[in-house]
Amino acid sequence: MTRLRAYTKARGLSFYHSLIWLCTRALERVDAFSYAVSEDRVVRLESRRSSFTHLKAGSETFRIVTVPCEGSLEDFCAAAREKCERQERFIDYAGEGIDMIFFSCLPWVDVTALTNERDLDVDDAIPRIAWGKFVEENGRKTLGLSIEVNHRFIDGLHIGQFARALETLFAEL
């Protein structure tokens, strides 16, 4: 995370939105993450949309904001910032769908694992990614990342492919 932190800081980008964009792009590079269930049929998604928590400044009230992962990292950060500022409701249900990835951040604690609240829907194929605060380790910033998936679609191999794709995207910054 040291490289990403320096990159976002130098360009005035949100680290949070940047990591959401990078994780979304990394998932899109792994074919197994492109499948979901719709009307009792397995379908292949063209892309995934990022749905993330946004804590309103100076408040303890958060919102669920959904933004398509389109364009460059800079384009996404600008669109995410604008949507966060504009959205008044807790959640915009018009933006909900099976093509989402749920993101959350708990910057107050070092996250090593996280379980999300969810219905026991065996067809739920929405990946859930969360992370906590930075930890300084040997002069490097590290960040624990938790990912929940539907094991009917995703196996450890695919999570490893996601991790390699994410590392590649970091190196391309």
Q: What is the pLDDT of residues 131-144, one digit of tens each?
A: 999 898 898 989 99
- Contact at 8 Å (CB) between 13 and 21? no
For residue 102, how many other CB atoms are within 10 A of its CB? 18
Is it the case that residue 117 has pLDDT exceeding 90?
no
The whole-model pTM stands at 0.93
- What digits encode the pLDDT tens for the residues 56-99? 888 888 999 999 999 999 999 999 999 999 998 888 887 789 99
Strands 49-55 and 100-105: parallel
